[in-house]
């Protein structure tokens, strides 16, 4: 392939064009041009932008150097278009943790403010350093939430039910689940809405139920950034019902990572299991029947159903292991 790096053809074409335009322009200004009487006629005939032409013309007249007729590199002169090395290093550090370009952009925006590359700019950095494809090591470095005792972390989430889950009704219903990370012991209930206030009271009942039934005292609870739970960017956490409730009971609020649903994957897996075992191809005569069936299913899930994520044990059996630790 031909190397065009040192090809000066484009520069010569620029200079030839401007030499011609300058001669024509100066004849117009001296009223000596045989065709054009006004400068605007000259610009229109040569399809030339007045401001652009005068910028290069005045620059050339002041310096006398034809090189000033060539277009300069756009952007600030004090730096190149590439991000500074510090930003590139931060991008590469996050990539080693297995984060995608979207995740990296969000993480850096939170840490460094708005003056960071876009997702496409981050991809260009990764490609430049040969990091645009995840290696097995990067995949292994993806952070996983693994807890060592009951109550260390709880997962909470809301789930939308189909409108026809109750026979003959067209009503929106929602499920809220609170699940312990270590034992996978779960609690859930049906709600008719997912407003922040309803979510707060429902979460309180879940925290109380798991404490009374299984002795789980949560230290932290992780939820997504939905309006019912509050967002990480909110500056008025004391005014949000769910976040204020956690502050009052002394539980730390954690937020899921943007573009990483796996952060709350344990409760997402619970929804899938519940859908397969209880909801799919099933309808109920009333809301009360659905609530009763859910209570019975939760007993089955916590006491009788082996869980692959905890080595085939039943969630209730994890209490014994927790006490040994």
83-104 pLDDT per residue, tens? 788 888 989 988 888 888 887 8
* Euclidean distance between CA atoms 172 and 162, whole angstroms: 7
Asked whether 25 and 50 are in contact (CB, 8 A), the reply is no
Percent of the chain scoring above 70 in pLDDT: 86
* Euclidean distance between CA atoms 298 and 177, whole angstroms: 10
Q: What's phi and psi for 190, nearest 5 deg? A: -90, 135
Which segment of 86-100, 154-168, 220-234 scores lowest on mean pLDDT?
A: 220-234
Per the model's pLDDT, the better-predicted residue between 80 and 240 turns out to be 240
Q: What is the pTM of this model?
A: 0.57
Longest C-alpha distance within the chain, in Å? 102
* Euclidean distance between CA atoms 307 and 315, whole angstroms: 7
Model pLDDT, residue 99: 82
- Note the pLDDT tens digit of each residue in 228-256: 888 766 656 678 899 999 999 999 988 88
β-partners of residue 189 are: 176
Q: What is the mean pLDDT of residues 142-166?
A: 81
Residue 15 clears pLDDT 70, i.e. is over it? yes
Architecture in CATH for domain 154-324? 2-Layer Sandwich (3.30)
Which segment of 26-35, 256-265, 266-275 scores lowest on mean pLDDT?
A: 256-265
Q: What is the mean pLDDT of residues 206-227?
A: 92
173-180 β-sheet, strand order = 186-191, 173-180, 154-161, 220-223, 252-255
Per the model's pLDDT, the better-predicted residue between 127 and 325 turns out to be 127
- Note the pLDDT tens digit of each residue in 111-123: 777 677 888 888 9
Which segment of 84-98, 133-147, 190-204, 259-273 scores lowest on mean pLDDT?
A: 133-147
Asked whether 142 and 103 are in contact (CB, 8 A), the reply is no
* Euclidean distance between CA atoms 146 and 152, whole angstroms: 10
**Rounded to the nearest 10 degrees, what angle do helices 265-274 and 287-303 cross at?**
120
* Euclidean distance between CA atoms 207 and 187, whole angstroms: 9
Do strands 252-255 and 220-223 pair parallel, antiparallel, or not at all (unpaired)? parallel
């Amino acid at each position: 392939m031909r190397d065009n790096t040192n090809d000066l053809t484009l520069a010569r074409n620029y200079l030839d064009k401007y030499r011609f335009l300058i001669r024509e322009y100066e004849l117009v200004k001296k009223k000596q041009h045989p065709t054009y009487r006004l400068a605007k006629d000259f610009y229109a005939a040569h399809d030339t932008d007045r401001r652009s032409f005068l910028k290069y013309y005045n620059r050339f007249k002041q310096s006398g150097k034809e090189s000033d007729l060539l277009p300069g590199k756009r952007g600030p002169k004090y730096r190149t278009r590439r991000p500074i090395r510090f930003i590139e290093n931060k991008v590469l550090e996050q990539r080693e943790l297995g984060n995608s370009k979207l995740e990296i952009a969000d993480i850096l925006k939170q840490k460094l403010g708005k003056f960071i590359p876009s997702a496409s700019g981050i991809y260009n950095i990764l490609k430049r350093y040969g990091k645009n494809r995840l290696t097995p090591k990067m995949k292994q470095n993806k952070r996983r939430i693994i807890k060592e005792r009951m109550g260390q972390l709880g997962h909470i989430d809301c789930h939308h039910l189909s409108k026809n889950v109750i026979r003959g009704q067209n009503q929106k219903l929602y499920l809220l689940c609170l699940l312990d990370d270590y034992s996978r012991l779960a609690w859930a209930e049906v709600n008719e809405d997912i407003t922040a206030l309803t979510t707060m009271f429902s979460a309180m009942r879940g925290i109380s139920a798991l404490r009374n039934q299984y002795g789980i005292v949560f230290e932290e609870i992780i939820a997504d950034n939905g309006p019912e739970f509050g967002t990480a960017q909110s500056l008025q956490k004391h005014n949000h019902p769910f976040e204020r409730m956690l502050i009052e009971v002394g539980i730390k609020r954690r937020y899921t990572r943007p573009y990483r649903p796996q952060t709350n994957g344990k409760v997402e897996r619970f929804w899938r299991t519940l859908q397969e075992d209880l909801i799919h191809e099933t309808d109920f005569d009333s809301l009360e029947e659905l609530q009763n069936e859910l209570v019975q299913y939760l007993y089955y899930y916590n006491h009788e159903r082996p869980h692959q994520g905890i080595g085939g044990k039943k969630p209730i059996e994890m209490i014994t292991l927790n006490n040994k630790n």
